[in-house]
Amino acid sequence: MKRLAAILGLSVLMSFSFAAEKIQITFWHAFGGGRTAFIERAVQDFNYTHPGIEVKAEYKGSYRDTLNAAILAAKQGNAPHIVQIFEVGSQMAIDSGIFVPIEDYVPAELKFQLDDYIKPVANYYRIGGKFNSIPWNSSNPILYYNKDIFKKAGLDPNNPPKTFNEVVEACKKIEATKAAPKCITWPLHSWFVEQWVAEQGALLANNENGRAARATDVYVDSEAMKRIMKWWKGLYDKGYYAYTGKPEDWDGANQLFVSKQAAMEITSTSDVTFMQNASYENGFELGTGFLPVPDGIERNGTVVGGASLWLTKGHPQKEQEAALTFLLWFTNTENMVRWHKGTGYFPVLNTSVKVLDWQHWFTRNPAYKAAFDQLLQSKANRATQGALIGPFPEVRTIIENMVQEIFQGKDIAKALAEADAKADKALKDYNAAVAK
């Protein structure tokens, strides 16, 4: 009897200690809205199928708020394990010194997954030859357009404009037939400018876009930029391009297009699901096409947008590996398919793309096809790899302010030169601040 009690007692004790054995991982992200629930369910799934690990996901506000909270927590020695950081924050994340390259902690049996990322995505997040972070939500800019307005204007609803001039031509027709009050809109965001620079095969910074070595010069005053600004200003002056006035106003642009005040909108592929629903509700047929590019150039490809997941330093090896186990599970083939279907973001693994193809997903959801094809057809070079610039947020604001000044009448060459000087100064100050 005593023996039984002892064994029972011991097993209870051991089960308690096993329960206490669970590795606790914290994961901070910036996904509000319906995504939070989606992430919650995935996390529960993981915890259930991986009894030794418990992941806790916390919403931490916007991208900016999430990064700030993480830095402040790290300063106190209490950083969360996993942090979602926006793509142009990559150089800042590296320079902050609070993160470690994830590739160093990938368990051996999961290393294969790193080879499965689709090329453009892998290119972006491979820095110095290894993955610093796990790609998660990746997006591209595409052209959405209102097929009904096109028909009314006498344009071919299945043939959206593919170049700058074609956009202007389409706008002429739309204005002439009064098919819509405005022709085209997109948020006044530097992201689009960066995409058009990449499409022309041009670089945004020296040292091979900041990829071969730290960038010390930003290329704002370039031919590629000039081309973009000339076209954009032309559209604005003729009243074809409309925007709300607020920089980076994603909702404002959506509002213009969904309310049929504009015939076309260029915005992120992460909005495909929303666009499909909204166009259906507001009674018009939605079309999607590639990002229009300057005439006379060969389409080079786009840069991946979105965010990735970083690992903070200062945790024991076991915890790091557990965090990586979660990250790789979270972004594995099946989960990426589910993520794409639920949110519209790219499934960033080749195998996921194969699964979706096999399920005839794209034939049944043609709106997603343009997004995909554009990304997969992007050439792999420094331009599409995307620039690594430390003070990227500040440079973006400099470019956006410049565009607004150009709209208000400033001479393009002068505006570009002044913005270039400002951006270079910002970069110089940044590099001085983070120099060891």
Partner 1 sequence: MDTHAAYKSRWLPWVLLAPTFVILLAFLYYPTFETFKLSLYRVAFLGLSKKFVGLANYKELFTNPDYLHIFWNTAVFAFFVVLFSMAAGLALSVLANQKVSGWRVYRLLLIWPYALSPAVAGVIFLFLFNEQSGIVNYLLSITLGITPGWLTNPKLAMALIIFAAVWKNVGYNVVFYIAGLQNLPGEVLEAALIDGASSWQRFWKITFPLLSPMTFFLLIINTIYAFFEAFPFVDLLTKGGPSDATNILIFNIYRDGFEYYKTGMAAAQSVILFVAVVFLTIMQFRLGESRVHYGS
Partner 2 sequence: MGKLAKKRNNLIVHVLLIISVLIVAAPIILAFIFSTQTPAQIFSYPPKFTFGTAMLDNYRTAWNQYHLGVYMKNSFYIAITVTVGKTIVSFMAALALVYFRFPLKNWVFTFILLTLMMPTEIIIVALFEMVTKLGWSNSYAALIVPFLASATGTFLFRQQFLQIPTSLVDAAKIDGAGPLRFAWAILLPMSLNVVAAMAVIQFVYMWNQYLWPLIVIRENSRQVVQVGLKSLTSGQDATNWGIVMAGTIIALLPALIVFLLLQEQFSRGFALSQEK
Cβ atoms 230, 104 nearer than 8 A = no
- Least separation in angstroms between residue 227's CB and partner 2 is 29
Is the CB of 137 or the CB of 331 nearer to partner 2? 137
Q: Which residues contact 334 (CB under 8 A, 6 or more apart)?
A: 352, 355
Are 219 and 201 in contact by the 8 Å Cβ rule? The answer is no
* Shortest reach from residue 236's CB to partner 2, in Å: 21
What is the layout of strands, in order, in the sheet containing 241-242?
241-242, 182-185, 262-268, 141-146, 286-289
- The torsion angles phi and psi of 127, rounded to 5 degrees, stand at -120, 125
* Secondary structure (DSSP) of 75-104: HTT---SEEEEEGGGHHHHHHHS-EE-GGG
For 131, the 3-state DSSP assignment is strand
CA dihedral sign of residues 32, 35, 41, 47: negative
Point out which span in 151-159, 191-199, 275-283, 392-400 binds partner 2 (CB under 8 A).
275-283
Residue 412 vs 434, nearer CB to partner 1: 434
Integer Cα distance of 175 and 183 in angstroms: 7
Return the one option of partner 1, partner 2, none that residue 357 interacts with (CB less than 5 to 8 A, by type).
Answer: none
Q: Which is nearer to partner 2, 123 or 279 (CB)?
A: 279
Closer residue to partner 2, CB minimum distance, 40 or 357 = 40
User: Does the protein bind partner 2 through residue 307 (CB under 8 A)?
Assistant: yes
Report in angstroms the alpha-carbon separations of 300 from 151, 304, 306, 384: 30, 13, 20, 8
Among 87, 88, 27, which residue's Cα sits nearest to residue 60? 27
Task: Provide the minimum distance between the beta carbon of 68 and partner 1 in the complex, in angstroms, as a whole number.
Answer: 6
Q: Using CB under 8 A, which residues numbered 113 to 142 contact partner 2?
A: 137
Closest distance to partner 2 from the beta carbon of 315 (Å): 15
Residue 391 binds which entry of partner 1, partner 2, none, CB below 5-8 Å type-dependent: partner 1
Residue number with CB closer to partner 1 (327 or 406): 406
| Closest separation in Å from C-beta 267 to partner 1 | 16
Question: Do residues 311 and 105 touch, judged by C-beta distance below 8 A?
Answer: yes
Nearer to partner 1, 247 or 342 (CB): 247
Contact between residue 305 and residue 138 where contact means Cβ atoms under 8 Å apart = yes
State yes or no: residue 100 binds partner 2 (CB under 8 A): no
61 contact, one of partner 2, partner 1, none, CB 5-8 Å limit per kind: partner 2
From 8, 13, 52, 75, residue interacting with partner 2 (rule: CB under 8 A): 75
Token output for 186: 């997109």
Count of C-beta atoms within a 10 Å radius of residue 84: 26
**Is 250 a binder of partner 2 (CB under 8 A)?**
yes
Pairwise CA distance, residues 409 & 155, whole Å: 32
The residue ranges of DSSP E strands in 151-200, in sequence order, are 182-185
Which residue, 279 or 352, is less far from partner 1 as judged by CB? 279
Q: Which does 277 bind (CB under 5 to 8 A by kind): partner 1, partner 2, none?
A: partner 2
Binding site for partner 1 (CB under 8 A): 64, 68, 71-72, 74-75, 92, 95-98, 181-182, 242-249, 251-252, 255-256, 259, 261-262, 391, 393-394, 397, 400-402, 404-405, 407-408, 426, 429, 432-434
Question: Is residue 6 involved in binding partner 2 (CB under 8 A)?
Answer: no
Q: 62 touches which of partner 1, partner 2, none (CB within 5 to 8 A by kind)?
A: partner 2
CB 312 within 8 A of CB 99: yes
Q: Which of 289, 306, 390, 391 binds partner 2 (CB under 8 A)?
A: 306
Chain positions contacting partner 2, by CB under 8 A: 26, 30-37, 56, 58-63, 65, 68-69, 72-73, 75-76, 78, 80, 137, 250-251, 254-255, 258-261, 268, 270-271, 274-275, 277-282, 306-307, 343-344
